[in-house]
Amino acid sequence: MNIRNKLIGLSKHDGTMRYLKNTSWLLAEKVLRMSVGLVVTVWVTRYLGPENFGIFSYAQSFVGLFVVIATLGLDSIVVRELVNSKEKRDQILGTAFYLKLIGALLVLVSLCIAMQFTEHSNQLNIYIFIIAAGTVFQSVNVIDYYLQSEVLSKYVVYSHLITLLLSSVIKLALIYFEAPLVYFVFVVLFDSLVIAVNQVCFYFYLKLSPLKWGFNKATAISMLKESYPLILAGVINSIYMKIDLVMINSMLSAESVGYYSSAVKLSEVWFGVGVLICNSLFPAIVNAKQISEQLYYSRVYKLFRSLTFVAYILALIVWLLSEQIILGLYGEEFIDASPVLSVHILSAIFVYLGVSSGRWLISEGLTKFNLYRNLAALFVNIGLNIVFINKFGIIGAAYASLISYIVGFYLFDLCFKNTRYILLLKTKALLLIFPYTPSKSVNTRVKN
C-alpha cells in the first residue's frame, strides 16, 4: 500500500511526470531511428557498392569537417536562455536563427575555398555542395531548442520520425528503380528540408509564429562570447569523427572509404547504446552526490563496470562473427570490411568509458578536461593514421582509432590530479573487480 501511495503521489507531480514522459519520448525515438536507420543504411550500402558508397561517405565526412560552424555551439545556451527568460522568447529564437543562418552561409563559403585546394572531381564537389546546402535549412532547428525548453520533445520526435519514414521510403524507391548516386545525395538535402518544414508546422500548431522573431545585437554578442569554447570543442570533435575517412580517401581510394565506412557505421550504432544507458542512469548518480561522496562514487563505478561488461560481451561477439556479419548484411563485395569491424568494435570498450566519464566531468564542473582529452585523441589519431594507413591500409586506420580512444578516454586521466581517481575506477572496471572500495581521498559527506 505504501508503494502504491508513493506511485500515486508521483503521478500528481506534473513536473516530474512531464520530464519522465519527455525522456521516454526521446529514448523511444533514438532506439527506433537507430534500428530503422541501420536497416536502410545496409540496403543503400549494398546497392551502391564499395566505390559509390565510399564517394557518398567521403562527401558527407568532408562536409562534416565544416558543418560545426553552422551550429556555433548555441544549442544548450539557447535552451537555457529560453528557460530563464521566457518573456524574451521571440528575441532569443530570432537572434539564434539569424546567427545559425550566417553560420550556414559561412560553411558554404568555407567549402568553396577549401575545394580550391583539393583534387576533387567536379562531380564530387557538386555532391559536397548539395549536402552542405542542408545546413541552411538547419537554421530553423532553433524551434527544436524551444520545444526542449518547454519539455515538448514529443513534437521533436514526431518531426524526426516523419523525416525518417519519408527518407526511408524514398531511398528504398531509389534502390528499386536503380537510381544513380546523385539522387541519394539529394535525399540528404531533402531530409534537412523536411525537418525544417515539420518544425515550422509544429510551431504554428502551438499558435506561435516565426514571423515575430527579431534579431538583437546585444543578445547575439552575449551568445557568441559564451559559445566560443563550445565551438572550439565542436570543431575538434567534428574533425576527430571525420578525419579517418578523409585521410583514407586521400591516401588510398574511394573504394577503401566504402569498406571502412561500412564497418565503422556498424560499430557506431552500438556506440549509441552506451549513450542511451548513460542518459538513463546518470541523473541518479548526480542525485547521489547530494547524499554522500561514497554513494556518489559507488554509483559512478557501477556505471563504469556495467558499461564495460556490456562492451566486453558486444566486442567479443562481433569480433568472433565479424566476417559472418559483413557477409550477411553487405554481401561478398564488402568482405574486406570484416577485419576493420573486428578491430573497430573493440573501441566500444573505451568509448563507453569516455561517455560515462564525460558525464562525471560535467557533474564535477571539469568540462575543460573534455576539450583536452579530445585534443589529445585527435593528435594521436592523425599521427597514427599517417603512419598506419600507409603501412597497413584501412585496418591501420581502425587500429589508429582504437589507440586514440584508449589515449583520450583512459590514459589521459593520468595527466591530471583531478582525474586520477577516475582512472583507478576505470581500471577496476576494465578488470571487472566487483566490490567497490572507496579511496581514502573520498570523504563521506551526508546531506543535512
Asked if residues 388 and 247 have their Cβ atoms less than 8 Å apart, the reply is no
Q: Name the pLDDT band for 232 (thresholds 50, 70, 90).
A: confident
- The residue-averaged pLDDT of 273-282 equals 71
- The residue-averaged pLDDT of 188-206 equals 92
Residues 215, 293: Cα–Cα separation, whole Å: 45
Q: What is the dihedral of CA 109, 115, 121, 123, to 10 degrees?
A: -10
Q: Which residue has the higher pLDDT, 204 or 65?
A: 204
Residues 53, 255: Cα–Cα separation, whole Å: 8
Q: What is the dihedral of CA 356, 362, 363, 369, to 10 degrees?
A: 90
Which residues lie below 8 Å from residue 205, measured CB to CB, with a gap of 6+?
155
pLDDT value, residue 18: 54
pTM here is: 0.80
Residues 360, 419: Cα–Cα separation, whole Å: 10
pLDDT value, residue 436: 61
Cell of 423: 582512472
Residue type for 429, please? A
Residues 141, 252: Cα–Cα separation, whole Å: 37
Asked if residues 373 and 236 have their Cβ atoms less than 8 Å apart, the reply is no
Host H or E run for residue 418: none
pLDDT value, residue 10: 43
Residues 424, 351: Cα–Cα separation, whole Å: 17
Q: Name the pLDDT band for 286 (thresholds 50, 70, 90).
A: low
Quick one: residue 207, left, alpha or beta (phi over 0 = left, psi -120 to 50 = alpha)? left
CA distances from 130 to 35, 60, 108, 189, 195 (A): 26, 10, 10, 7, 17
- The residue-averaged pLDDT of 247-251 equals 93
Most confident segment among 42-46, 154-158, 242-246: 42-46
Cell of 442: 573520498
Lowest model confidence (mean pLDDT) among 93-107, 167-181, 380-394, 430-444 = 430-444
Residues 322, 176: Cα–Cα separation, whole Å: 28
Lowest model confidence (mean pLDDT) among 85-94, 259-268, 360-369, 394-403 = 360-369
Residues 257, 263: Cα–Cα separation, whole Å: 10
Host H or E run for residue 8: helix 2-12
